[in-house]
Amino acid sequence: MIVSLLVYTQSSQALKSEIHRANDSMLRQVRYTIDTQIDLMKRLNMEMTWNSKLQDLMYSSKTPGDAQFTVYQLVKELRMYQTSYASIDEFYVTWDQDGSVIRSGNVRDLETAFNTIHNTGTLTYEQWLNTIHGSANNRFLLLPHLDSAKPQTGIAYLTHLPKDLNGRETGTVVVMADTARFQKAIEGISGFSGGQILVLNEENEVLLSNLPVSINLDQLLQDLPADSGQVMNIPARDGDSELFYIQSSISKLKYVLMIPSSIYWEKAEYVRRFTYISLFLSFVSAGVLTWFFMRRNYSPIQQLVQLLTDKNSHEERTDWNELSFIQRSISKTRSEKEKIALQLEAQQHVLRSNMLNRLLKGKTDPLIPYEEAFESFDIKLLSEEFAVILFMVENGESLSAQLPGIDLHEKSKLIQFIISNVVEELAEQYHHVGYTVEVDDMMVCLVNCGEPESTVFKDDLKAIAAEAQRFLASYQMVLTLSIGGIHSSLSGIAEAYREAVDAMAYKMVLGKQEIIAYDEIRRETTDHSQTGYYYPLLVEQQIINLIKVGDMEQVTKIIDEVTDRNFNQPVISLTLARCLIFNLAGTMVKAMNELGDGDSSILGDNPLWLDQIIACDTILEMKAELQTLVAEVCTFAAAKLEQNVSHERAESLRDLVLKVTAHIEDQYSNSNLSVNMIGEHFNMKGSYLSKLFKSQTGEGVLDYINKYRIGQAKEMLKTRQASISDIAKQAGYNEVATFIRVFKKYEGITPGKFKEMK
């Protein structure tokens, strides 16, 4: 009885403590869920605040035309933010100097923007302006949102941009998320605890609540203790309540939980009654069991010992404690059973992996129906729709180095085990089933659709891949994923696997740590099948000339332009991508041969440089290896050029080049300007002057004249409204056809197309 009373007392205290702990844990869970969304809001706010286009617009003196162009570029970048932050319902920037609001996709004046975003009838235009301009910096508050669900309210995060050099206000960045995104987390804990959940800002103003906020409660919230985690007793008309709050880990928000005190006493009364009943049952049970065992004899234990002794007759009993002997015998039998079960499970796993491997490779087995095989391997199919997700671990060696004391095979099995559990559980969360197997050094997940709509299944596949990649990154796994198409029936599984493998091959162009969908690759390659291959002979010769003079900066710039022009297309074929890299590498060899050192020390010191380029997995890695080679070749060329030309001659040639370029820039609009005319101006033969000029710059005088004229023409096309004919004459061309031909030679497009693009 004393023990029961102690148990009752301790149980009551423990019950109250556990309720506090449970509510604290749930409140922290709410904080984690909401803080995740708040962190996204603050991160987007930070990116918008320090956006280079926004800083340029707010803090630089621009003409109205330039400012509008900058606004246009900023609107396009905000549209990209909208894609990256899908859970953010609204964000914009107020531009005080122009009296407008810059949003993703448009620019509106302040009143129009208010009517579009906030005019739900609960806030006037003047109140909104006062809120935007008069609120404290970096503050969370409630604003109405016209497009949100009921009650049409959102939590807004406001940041005022710094003032400009004249001390004027520049603008405010506003990021909003609808309250419906936070409501589920609050409803879950409030439904469990029966209490009221509130989210407060820094000024203890209520942002969210699952129940209406009374006036009395609003006053009590103003007197919250300074330290979070404390419990306050609050007297109320319908009984006392207890208040508990914690601080946000990433912001100054506060999470408050109020629980009626009656919950504790109800559960304590239940414990007391249960204690009385248990005391009564204990007395009754003790009497019955005592009587029962006193009437029992010892024969069942003797029979059991004899049975076990006959079964294990090869073992001798070393003690006379029958219960210890029985325990030992049962433990041994269970150990043998578990060992056999483990062996069967391992064989079952191997057989299942082999069956899935053959199914993915399209090697059907007509002797055993797949329906029977699926049932024996505990594989359940929800529908006739299948898809395949491939996982390529890019940092397998570094992962193995982080697991000392384990052999390579066990490390590989551990990595496969982690990936399998994560992916199959994610598939189950999306109401699908997934089965993972290793095929050709890659993890393959066969996903069976559990949704009737294929569009939903396709979106779920991307979500599963993204969440798996993000979660496995916490295990330091760097993954590249590919997704095949959706196919019906078992015969389509092999086709889905082949498509996933084809998509994985595009890792070379798109880079590592990407999620590559076969449907997107196929659509883009079909839509852009006529995309050209840009690496003209003129550009190649220009690279060779620049390498010969050792101008590494210009060579790198041209190579970047060529690769960007080819790889910035939606999708380029793998064959053309490899051809471009090998052509650029071939240009390096040609340049070294023209330097007169085909068997130079560069090739001798780097005999495997081409093998290193081929061994790269992605275009970016190939480009990096190529840039290393460019640096070595240009350094060699510059050193050789410096050896062949004396210091005095080099100085005089540089001075001559400066004078020639200055003369060209001064006389470029003269249509009679030519190489011979420039040679006469400097008392030299035109061909010899062009040769000296090319030895220093890598290009001839005529090429420089044309390039400078085209450069000036481009600026005039951007800033003037004159016709193509007038601009051609101002740039030094009497014939418009000549101007168009030269312009297209250097820019790749006609002047008219360029003017349309400005």
| Class at the top of the CATH hierarchy for domain 380-526 | alpha beta
pLDDT (0 to 100) of residue 31: 84
pLDDT tops 60 at residue 367: no
Instruction: Supply φ then ψ for residue 481, to 5 degrees.
Output: -120, 150
Greater pLDDT, 448 or 531: 448
- The percentage of residues in the chain with a pLDDT greater than 70, rounded to a whole number, is 81
Strand partners, 482: 390, 516
Between 724 and 210, where is the model more confident? 724
Q: Calculate mean pLDDT across residues 188-199.
A: 67
Domain boundaries, the chain: 51-181, 380-526, 537-643
- What pLDDT is stored for residue 217 in this prediction? 61
Per-residue pLDDT, 598: 47
CA distance 74 to 161: 16
**What are the phi and psi torsion angles at 56 (to 5°)?**
-65, -40
| pLDDT (mean) for 263-277 | 69
**308-322, 387-401, 403-417, 454-468 — which is least confidently predicted?**
308-322
Rounded mean pLDDT, 321-325 = 77
- What whole-number distance in Å separates Cα of residue 453 and Cα of residue 463? 16
User: Can you give the pLDDT at residue 171?
Assistant: 92
At 586, which helix (H) or strand (E)? helix 574-594
**Stronger pLDDT, 347 or 366, i.e. the higher one:** 347
- Strands of 12-72, DSSP E: none
pLDDT of residue 530: 47
- Has this prediction a pTM greater than 0.85? no
DSSP assignments along 279-323, one per residue: HHHHHHHHHHHHHHHHH--SHHHHHHHHHHHHHTTTSPP--S-HH
Name the DSSP class of 739.
H
Asked whether residue 28 carries a pLDDT value surpassing 50, the answer given is: yes
More confident residue, 241 or 405: 241
Instruction: Tell whether the model's pLDDT for residue 220 goes beyond 70.
Output: no
Residue 128 is predicted with a pLDDT of: 92
Please write the tens of the pLDDT for every residue from 715-748: 888 888 888 888 888 888 888 888 888 888 888 8
Per-residue confidence (pLDDT) for residue 409, from 0 to 100: 72
The mean pLDDT of 704-721, rounded to a whole number, is 86
pLDDT at 200: 85
C-alpha–C-alpha distance, residues 522 and 482, integer Å: 13
Considering only CA atoms, which of 70, 99, 247, 223 is closest in space to residue 169?
99
Band (pLDDT 50/70/90 cuts) for residue 752 is confident
Helices 552-567 & 619-644 angle (0-180, nearest 10): 160
The arithmetic mean of pLDDT across residues 376-391, rounded, is: 84
Confidence at residue 340, expressed as pLDDT on a 0 to 100 scale? 80
CA-closest candidate to residue 125, choices 439, 116, 394: 116
- Indicate whether 703 pLDDT > 80: yes
- Residue 267 above 70 pLDDT? no
Of residues 233 and 162, more confidently modeled? 162
d(CA 544, CA 540): 6
Check residue 237 and give its pLDDT.
47
> Is the backbone peptide bond immediately before 369 cis, with ω within 30 degrees of 0?
no
pLDDT reading at 553 higher than 90: no
Smallest CA-to-CA distance from 91 within 43, 152, 150, 156 is with 156
Most confident of 111-125, 377-391, 566-580: 111-125
Alpha helices by DSSP H, 430-517 = 454-472, 492-505, 507-510
Closest among 408, 407, 451, 409 to 429, alpha carbons compared: 451
Determine the average pLDDT of the residues in 471-495: 85
Residue 1 has pLDDT above 70, yes or no: no
Band of pLDDT at residue 176, cut at 50, 70 and 90 = very high
Segment 66-71 mean pLDDT: 88
For 209, counting Cβ atoms within 10 Å of its Cβ (0-12 exposed, 13-18 middle, 19+ buried), the class is middle
Position 358, amino acid: R
If pLDDT is split at 50, 70 and 90, which confidence band does 240 have? low
| pLDDT at residue 156, as a whole number | 92
pLDDT of residue 452: 63
Spatial contact of 282 and 288, defined as CB atoms under 8 Å apart? no
Q: Which two tokens stand for residue 192?
A: 């469990």
Return the higher-pLDDT residue of 414 and 214.
Answer: 414
- Of 757, 703, 747, 752, the closest CA to residue 728 belongs to 752
Q: How confident is the model over 336-362, as a mean pLDDT?
A: 77
Which pLDDT belongs to residue 609? 66
CATH 3.30.450 fits 51-181, yes or no: yes
Q: What is the mean pLDDT of the chain?
A: 79
| CA-atom Rg of the chain in angstroms | 38
**pLDDT at residue 484 is higher than 80:** yes
pLDDT band at residue 648, thresholds of 50, 70 and 90?
low
User: How far apart are the C-alpha atoms of 738 and 727, rounded to whole Å?
Assistant: 12
Torsion angle (degrees, nearest 10) of CA 743, 749, 755, 758:
-120
Beta-bridge partners for 153: 144
Q: What is the largest CA-CA distance in the chain?
A: 135
Contacts of 551 (CB under 8 A, 6+ apart): 634, 698
Q: Which two tokens stand for residue 502?
A: 């084809």
Query: What mean pLDDT do residues 228-253 have?
Result: 67
- Phi and psi angles of residue 260, each rounded to the nearest 5 degrees, phi first: -65, 135
* Residue among 5, 95, 3, 89 nearest 44 (CA): 89
What one-letter code names the amino acid at 742? V
Residues 6+ apart with CB under 8 A from 665: 708
Cα 27 to its chain centre, rounded Å, is 28
Highest averaged pLDDT of the listed ranges 63-72, 376-385, 405-414:
63-72
